[in-house]
Every structure is written in structure tokens, then in C-alpha cells.
């Protein structure tokens, strides 16, 4: 092999690695599919009893799928996850400067796995 062929081989290997990493990251990323709830969902905190409902999400609410896929999903016990996106033009609606100790124990994770 001459020098030109060696450099082309090196560039080809590096490009394949870069494209492989990009493919892998996209494969394990969220799908962000939009959908609608088919029924009312009773949501509770993870630490609460099964019969104590924190709030109810109404049927017909638009949600976005944020279930992790691929290697990112390993070890998750409730992998069917959705996200509710609320928009507003008010910037004073939410206080983001709250200490972590004041937030709920599981952050913004709740369980909709309650008996019907």
C-alpha cells in the first residue's frame, strides 16, 4: 500500500466509527412520539399506598413518549414513560431556584401503575 491508500483507509475507519457512534446514540434516544391518553390515569407517588391517588390525568390529554430505548433502558422498572408539555408566555410561573431538599423525593417521577 502506498501512502495515499493508507491515509484513505485511516479516514474511512475514523468516518465509520463516527457514523457508528451517531447511529448508536440515535438508536438509544427517545422517540418523542405524540399521543393521547385513552383513559383517565390515576397518578400516585412511588412511596404512597396503592389506594392513595395524588392526581388524575384526564382522558384525551396530549402526551409525548419519552421511553428510553436500547442500552439506556436497562434497569428501568417502568419503562413506558410519557411527558406532559405545558407551554405559557409567563416567565414568572415557575421558580427554578428551589433547594433540592424541598422537592419531592423522586423529583418529577410518578407512577401510574395503580390497580383499576
Do 22 and 78 form a contact (C-beta atoms < 8 A)? no
Domain ranges of the chain: 1-29, 31-116
Is the pLDDT at 97 greater than 90? The verdict is no
Q: How far is CA 100 from CA 43, 71, 104, in A?
A: 22, 28, 8
pLDDT above 70 (res 92): yes
Whose CA is closest to 41, among 116, 105, 107?
Answer: 116
The residue-averaged pLDDT of 80-97 equals 76
| pLDDT tens digits along 49-82 | 666 777 888 888 888 887 777 666 666 666 777 7
pTM: 0.51
Strand 62-65's sheet: what is its strand order?
34-36, 62-65, 82-83
Write the pLDDT tens digit of every residue in 1-27. Answer: 788 899 999 999 999 999 888 877 766
Amino acid at each position: 500500500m502506498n501512502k495515499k491508500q493508507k491515509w484513505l483507509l485511516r479516514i474511512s475507519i475514523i468516518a465509520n466509527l463516527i457514523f457508528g457512534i451517531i447511529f448508536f446514540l440515535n438508536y438509544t434516544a427517545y422517540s418523542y412520539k405524540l399521543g393521547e391518553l385513552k383513559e383517565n390515569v390515576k397518578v400516585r407517588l412511588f412511596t404512597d399506598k396503592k389506594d392513595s391517588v395524588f392526581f388524575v390525568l384526564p382522558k384525551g390529554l396530549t402526551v409525548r413518549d419519552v421511553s428510553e430505548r436500547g442500552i439506556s433502558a436497562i434497569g428501568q422498572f417502568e419503562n413506558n414513560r410519557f411527558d406532559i408539555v405545558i407551554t405559557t408566555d409567563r416567565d414568572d410561573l415557575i421558580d427554578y431556584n428551589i433547594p433540592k431538599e424541598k422537592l419531592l423525593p423522586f423529583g418529577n417521577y410518578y407512577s401510574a401503575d395503580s390497580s383499576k
